[in-house]
Amino acid sequence: MEEEKIDPQHVAARNKIRKAGIVLLVIGLVFTALGISSFFLVILTNSPFGFILFLFVFIGTPLSFIGLILTLYGYAGRIARYTAAESAPVTKDVINYTADGTKEGVKTIASAIGEGLGIKGLAEQTKIKCHKCGNLNNGDSKFCSNCGTALGKTKACPKCNELNDPDAKFCDNCGRNF
């Protein structure tokens, strides 16, 4: 699906890297296994031939390493997409949780900064317009002082869970019709 957007030469190169990596990895593992098993052959039989095969460990180990690295590069895109798909929802939840938990603290700090700059009650100066009657209300108001309508976004979209104005006909995030 995504490979259609990628340059065909890139796809061919990636496939070659994947194949070369797997081949080198398998060859390296075979050489390493031969070398290790020949080590035991030398110990058990005192055969000089086994010692020569033991040198395969010094060939097989680097080949295995190079094969592993090439294989990882060949599959780097898939690995990155999987990692992003696994971690993005968790990161989003952590950020939302942190934002919700620090909202009052940020308001307090903003008010303190505003007062330090000579701006009295930053929350009182911020006005929220009622979506029903258009009345301007204090920034910390939860309900309209004119008509009593809830000022916060309280209508959750059933599709994406975005909070919308209580009288919204469409979701602000995904456009779903209520």
At residue 164, the 3 state secondary structure works out as strand
DSSP string, 72-127: HHHTHHHHHHHHHHHHHHHHHHHHHHHHHHHHHHHHHHHHHHHHHTT---HHHHSE
- Tell me what percent of the residues of the chain surpass a pLDDT of 90: 28
Quick one: pLDDT at residue 3? 46
Count structural domains, the chain: 2
177 Ramachandran zone, left/alpha/beta (phi>0; psi -120 to 50):
beta
Q: Is residue 87 part of a domain?
A: no
Spatial separation of the C-alpha atoms in residues 65 and 44, rounded to whole Å? 29
Q: Is residue 134 part of a domain?
A: yes
pTM: 0.47
Residue that is last in its domain, among 47, 74, 101: 74
Quick one: pLDDT at residue 78? 92
Spatial separation of the C-alpha atoms in residues 151 and 142, rounded to whole Å? 5
Quick one: pLDDT at residue 123? 47
Identify the domain containing residue 173 by its residue range.
128-178
Under 8 Å between Cβ of 133 and 165: no
Q: Is residue 104 part of a domain?
A: no
Residues of the chain with pLDDT under 70: 1-4, 6, 47-50, 118-126
Q: Is residue 110 part of a domain?
A: no
